[in-house]
A and B are shown apart, each in its own frame.
Chain A
Amino acid sequence: MDIIIAGAGKVGFELARALSLAHNVTVIDKNAEALERLQGLIDIFTIVGDIDNPLTYKALFGTRADIFVAVTDSDEANLLSTLIVNDAIDVEKKLIKLKNSFFGKSSILDTLEITESVFPIVLSAETIRLLLQYPEANNVKKIPGSTVKLISIQVDNSDYEEELVTSFENDQVKIVGIERCKRFFVPLGTESIKHDDLLYFLGEGKVVEKLYSRLDLKMPLKIRDAVIFGARFLGLEIARVLIEEGVTVKVIEKDLKLCKRASEILQEKALVINSHYDEAILYEEENLASADMVIMTGSQDEENIVRSLRAKEQGIPKVVAINNEKKYYDLMHKLGIIVARGPRTSAYYAILEKIASKTVVSERRYCGGNGIALSRKIFPNSPLIGKKLNPFPQKETIVLLEREGIFLPDLPEIFLLEGDMVFLFVPVSLEGKGRAWISSL
């Protein structure tokens, strides 16, 4: 496919890298230096220029492309570029990243003939909603294309008597990862669960919840009071979600202008507090330590980490940080912070899924990126229908086949049907092999 990516920021770069392996990618950005660096790393064509300037597209006049993706930080530029592209190039599919969720509810996107839109800020805020819906869990992740979730639970109880992994499993729930002493592994059935383990369950939320009582969790039963650090777009969107879920919210922000804007938007529904002078003193002044949950929404991971550590020290049970850069994911996780995908990562995965929705294998990283969940849905007319699964050659991995919420036993004997979901859970060291296996089932 011929793909044009407008914007070579973090999202644009990651997309170009992932897509250039199999497709012809053209990247447009005004930053010539960034494009040069990009060209040194991956095999793409680049155009220097503003994406909302028609002249930029001169080199592409009259050509055709399969997909145009606009992923700059400016909604206006992204919207305008799709209009210009309409005029200059014969494009089949147009994908756009937008901050302002209003566009999603209006008919503007249809008017501009934009095929697909991605609202990364909304996506990130929605991951926080999941945490509210499963307050006792450590973290919750959705699996694209499936109703089952990846739910992690910390075994807090020091009197916990060891039990076998299989004693928790049935045809609706599986344990697909354990972190013990900061080391991740995919467990075999003979493994036993110990005190302080972080367990990764795969299953429907309601089914997993039934197992909580056996593990004696210390997480709050319901999130009542929450603190959000940061009042930019993401902070406000998360505040909106929390308020919708009935949580009492305090928003902390350093910048006075942002505070005023936040106060204008949230009005009396949340308390906006300016932390210009000293953030630490706010813990005392506003009694932040009594909150059930604190969420760091900054765009700088370092800052989010420092704030998270301070919050943990204050004894807040749920400390969540938005992860903006992959390289900090593992560190955040190791420090005991609950990590939520930042808007950039959300945008990257969402766009990737939309570009090749029917062929691509979905992947979710978990446990600080040390575990990888690969999944593949069997679509109608798939050549895999009626075939059997080849066994995955490596030990310490799990292969599952989900059919209508049930994980089927005796995999080698089963013929694949439409709507089935194939899962593979591997440690990060087997990432390449795992992806190759699931792609070539």
Chain B
Amino acid sequence: MDLLSLKNISKLLSLLGIFISLFFLIPIAGGVIYGENIGDFLLFDLAFFFANLLLFLSLRKHTMSVRIKDAILAVNLIWILLGIAGSIPLILYTPISFADGFFEAISGFTTTGATIYSDIESLPKHILLLRSLMHWLGGIGIIVLGVGLFSLINPTGSMALFKAEATGGKLEKMTPKIRDTAVKIWGVYLVLTILDMLLLMMEGMSFFDALNHAFSTISTGGFSTKNNSMAFWGDNAMILWTTTLFMMLSGINFLAHLRLFNGDSSGYRKEEVRWYFGIFLLLGLLLTVDHILISGDNLLHSATNAFFTIASVMTTTGFASLDYEQWGSAAIALIFLAMLVGGNAGSTAGGFKVSRLVVLGKNINLQVRKLLHPKAITSLYLDGNRITYDVLGVITGFAFLFVLTNMAVTVYLFARGYDVMTSISAAVATVGNIGPGFSQIGPVNNYGFFSSMDKIVLSAAMILGRLEFYTVVIVFFRTFWKRF
């Protein structure tokens, strides 16, 4: 690590810090509107802002040239910075430890939606707004935001940063300059959020709840303003279906939405999107049937909750409309399957991602074909594009890291004395950025009971999942730190 890297990273972090502190003014303003005491929050925010501003100004003459290693390290540090910055207001206003605050903030920024609070409704409104805002900022990727911003001061290195954040996913530009694409994606993000909010308000939510849930839905986060999550509106089928729709939309590649804004619907005709909806419909139908058989509820009620739950888990949002653990083992199995699917590449959803599943599935098909036809010349294709062995290698590596990370977290939690169901589902729910799991962390429970160390481990699991492993794992390789 040389001085140049240090300066590069410091400048990046300070810029992001300034940006975050400006966004924190939104919950502060909220607090003012609702007549809450926000003095400490404001003080912290000002201190945070000026500290970063000072750092930035001191480096203003430094011309950035972000190299790939700088970018990777910066992205890792950004997430730690986010965890710390987000935790402080929480610690200031609620009686929680640093580990609690860090967990909650990372859960927010990684759009996981796992919470340590048991009584959410008692939290001040500006803290609720802060939690949702962390989702919203984290969802679109601080980096996509940053790319637009950083490219202003760093015309050469912005791609390196984008690549470091979006590992595995193919970088698909729609404009010659990545900044223009990033800005447009922001536009789509904003439009979807506002649309969702307005619909929720029309269907009976208050402005505050609608805003928070829109933030939480479009970012596929999962923080709610109510103790029993969306079950609060369990009788309002319209709200549940609207949320289902917007969760599913947020799980699609945002470039597809962007294309639609340009009058081109081809983004939705991709194989990944077809599989995504296919899996959603299949699991939703099965869960509906299962629900009807177990509870005897009517079709509409069953379908509403079943499809809502599958959408919520598949897109890694993590809202709950019912305590799905009471639907029996078959339901739990179906929901667990949905947890492993994830959304589309290029969406706000986390998880394994449908495109990777499709490619791995097609690879098995290809290997079978090659065994049956030894002299056949064939390849892997996705949407008519050949998947090279390089890409397949990245995806299989990802799959292995996904399994490995989940196993490691499961084994750790099990060794700490939690039951199997809690251990496995907590691993999958944090690594996949989903939120709720089963047993002790079921939809009606929370993560508050874990020890401080467990919470730090789970926070790391969330960051690993959010950054899709490689970006984090690479830092632990000796070659990364070698100068030559």
Chain A residues positioned under 8 Å from B97 (CB to CB): none
Segment from B34-42, B319-327, B372-380, B467-475 that makes contact with A: B372-380
Residue A263, interface by CB 8 Å: yes
* Closest CB in chain B relative to A147 CB, distance in Å: 37
Minimal Cβ-Cβ distance residue in A for B384 = A267
B373 touches A273 (CB 8 A): yes
How far in angstroms is the closest Cβ of chain B from A131? Answer: 25
Which B residues are in CB contact (< 8 Å) with A286? 373, 375
Q: Which residue of B lies closest to A261 (CB)?
A: B377
Q: Mark A283-298, 1 if CB is under 8 A from B, else 0.
A: 0011000000000000
B377 A256 Cβ-Cβ under 8 A: yes
Pairwise interchain contact A264-B374, C-beta atoms closer than 8 A: no
- Does B375 contact A273, Cβ atoms closer than 8 Å? yes
Residues of B within 8 A of A282 (CB): 375
Residues in A neighbouring B177, C-beta threshold 8 A: none
Is A259 engaged at the interface, CB distance under 8 Å to the other chain?
yes
Interface residue? B386 (CB, 8 A): yes
Residues on the B chain within 8 Å of A259, using CB: 377
A271, B378: Cβ atoms under 8 Å?
yes
Query: When chains A and B are docked, how far (Å) is the Cα of A277 from the Cα of B381?
Result: 27
**Residue A224 at the chain B interface, CB threshold 8 Å:** no
A167 CB → nearest B CB, Å: 49
Contact indicator A263/B379 (Cβ below 8 Å): yes
Q: Which residues of B contact A262 (CB under 8 A)?
A: 377
Q: CB within 8 A of A285: which of B375, B379, B386?
A: B375
B residues less than 8 Å from A271 (CB atoms): 369, 373, 376, 378
Chain B min CB distance to A282 (Å): 7
Q: Which secondary structure dominates where chain A touches chain B? A: helix
Whole-angstrom CA separation of A207 from B171 in the bound complex: 58
B392, chain A: closest CB distance, angstroms? 16
> Residue A272 at the B interface, CB < 8 A?
yes
Cβ contacts under 8 Å, B375 to chain A = 273-277, 282, 285-286
Please indicate the chain B residues that have their CB under 8 angstroms from the CB of A267 in the complex: 379, 381, 384
Q: Is A93 an interface residue, CB under 8 A from the partner?
A: no
**Pair A260/B373 contact, Cβ less than 8 Å:** no
Which residues on B sit within 8 Å (CB–CB) of A275?
Answer: 375
Q: Determine how close the nearest CB of chain A comes to the CB of B223; give it in whole angstroms.
A: 43
Nearest opposing residue in chain A for B369, CB measure:
A271
Q: Is the CB of A285 within 8 A of B374?
A: yes
Give min CB distance, A69 to chain B, whole Å. 36
**Is B376's CB under 8 angstroms from A272's CB?**
yes
Q: Is A268 among interface residues, defined by CB-CB distance under 8 A? A: yes
Selected contact of B377 from candidates A268, A274, A277, A285, CB within 8 Å: A274
CA distance in complex: A285, B373 (Å): 8
Which B residues touch A256, using CB under 8 A?
Answer: 377
Please name all residues of chain A whose beta carbon is closer than 8 Å to the beta carbon of B379 when the two chains form the complex. 263-264, 267
Chain A residues near B (Cβ < 8 Å): 256, 259-260, 262-264, 267-268, 271-277, 282, 285-286
28 residue pairs bridging A and B, Cβ less than 8 Å apart: A256-B377, A259-B377, A263-B377, A263-B378, A264-B379, A264-B386, A267-B379, A267-B381, A267-B384, A268-B378, A268-B381, A271-B369, A271-B373, A271-B376, A271-B378, A272-B376, A272-B377, A273-B373, A273-B375, A273-B376, A274-B375, A274-B376, A274-B377, A276-B375, A277-B375, A285-B373, A285-B374, A285-B375
